[in-house]
Amino acid sequence: MAWDAFIPSHTREERCLSDLKIFFASDIHGSEVCFRKFLNAAKAYQVDALIMGGDITGKMIVPIVAIDQGRYTFEWLGNPYTITADALAEHIRQIRMSGIYTYLTDPDEMIQLEENPLLVKDVFRRTMKASMVEWLELAEERLSGSGIECFITPGNDDDLALDEAFIGKNVVCNPEGKIVHIRGEIEMISTGYSNLTPWHSPRELDENALYEKILSMASGLINPRCSIFNLHCPPYDYGLDIAARLDKSLKPIAGIGGVEMGPVGSQAVLKSIQVYQPMLGLHGHVHESRGAVKVGRTLCVNPGSEYTEGILRGCLVLINKKGVRDYLLTSG
């Protein structure tokens, strides 16, 4: 007979199994420096598991145009540059650090890119995937043998093709749409899909479909109250989802005394948390709405994002037998 057979069943159900320290970050949007900080957080914060909540890829590409043999030109932060091949690597490194991709091209292709948005889309897709492959290789190299688990979920802004980059990885896991077990014990469900946004990003669902997607995972949990809901979009109107209100042209609505702000989170995420009451909700998506709140018994966190400044915002969560023992929002 197992020792916990003496514990009343309702208590046993709510007892979480292990002392665990996890580090959660989200929305680094292609920032090389933030990704490297994320990997280094494992050692710096001495955690058992790293979780990245989505929106990993960048939003912008700076084309670097080869103008003649050994010379390149580009514009960066409003300044035009013409450089030699020797300086190319360093300039690419600097641009990549801030979350912006570079693309080596020539004048002819540049004209085609300007005229054909589909070509630009393809360049983005290839560049993002290549960057993701590099990052995952780096993560495997850094974390292999460390015993630290690493979960990276693509978010609503990440192209669907990105999922292929995770195939065959041993250390890094893409937990999208699945139940995974952290250290073999704590159940976690994840999705990077968000509710509908005005930007029509690659991974969006209406609230009903999003709820169904979360439900399909949550219904398979053995112990939902001791589980983690790693859902990119924050719950609706609990203070983790406050963003600038936009008009139809996607311009912030400004009035007397400032920009109008309002909730943009997901009703589906809120409902699923209210129904299942997991011990922890990990969210991102709304960069400016950093915080931690309780939805019923569930601690929900959104560490926010300052990726453009190379600052990795995150959240350390301490879990013990009783559930979430404590948390700390970090700014590394």
Partner 1 sequence: MDNIQQAKVSRPFFVREATGLVRELSWFDTFLCGFGILNVALGLVQAFAYAPFVFPGSNMAIAFLIALPGAFFIGLLNALFTAAMPRSGGDYVWVSRSLSPVVGFAVNFFATFGVIAAAAVNIWYMASNFLAPALYVMGFQGAASWVASGPAAIIMAIPAIAILVLIFSLGLNVVRRVMLVLFIITGIGTIVWLLIMLLGSNTSFIAGFNNVLGANAYENMIQTAATAGRTVDPTQTGRNSFYAMIYAFQMYGGFQMIGYFAGEIKRVHKSAMQAIMTALGVGALFFILSSLIVVRYFGAEFLGAVAFLANAAPDQLGLPLGAYISNMVIYMTQSRFLQIIVSLGFLATITWILLPQMLIITRNMFAWSFDRLIPSWVAKVNERTHSPVNATIIAGILIYIMLLVTLLTQFWAYLINLAGVGALVGMLVAISAIIFPFRRKDIFEKAPAIVKGKFLGLPWLTWAGILTLITQGLLTFIAFTTPAIGGAVNMVSLLSSLAVFIIAFPLYLIPYYVNKNRGLDTSLVYKELPPE
- Among residues 228, 243, 247, the alpha carbon closest in space to that of 324 is found at 228
Candidates 3-11, 169-177, 211-219, 255-263; binding stretch for partner 1 (CB under 8 A)? 255-263
Closest distance to partner 1 from the beta carbon of 90 (Å): 13
Nearer to partner 1, 106 or 212 (CB): 106
Contact between 189 and 217 (Cβ < 8 Å): yes
Those residues whose C-beta lies under 8 Å from the C-beta of residue 271, and which sit 6 or more positions away, are: 211
Nearer to partner 1, 48 or 187 (CB): 48
Nearer to partner 1, 113 or 275 (CB): 113
Among 294, 297, 321, 322, binds partner 1 (CB under 8 A): 294
Closest distance to partner 1 from the beta carbon of 277 (Å): 12
d(CA 209, CA 189): 16
Closest distance to partner 1 from the beta carbon of 124 (Å): 5
Among 8, 78, 145, 168, binds partner 1 (CB under 8 A): 78
Of residues 134-163, those binding partner 1 (CB under 8 A): 156-157
Contact call for residue 93 and partner 1 (CB under 8 A): no
Q: What residues does 104 pair with on adjacent strands? A: 64
Place of tokens 């889309």: 121
Candidates 3-11, 129-137, 191-199, 209-217; binding stretch for partner 1 (CB under 8 A)? 191-199
Those residues whose C-beta lies under 8 Å from the C-beta of residue 63, and which sit 6 or more positions away, are: 74, 102, 103, 105, 110, 113
d(CA 230, CA 221): 13
Nearer to partner 1, 119 or 222 (CB): 119
Instruction: Tell which phi-psi region holds residue 274, choosing left (phi > 0), alpha (psi between -120 and 50) or beta.
Output: alpha
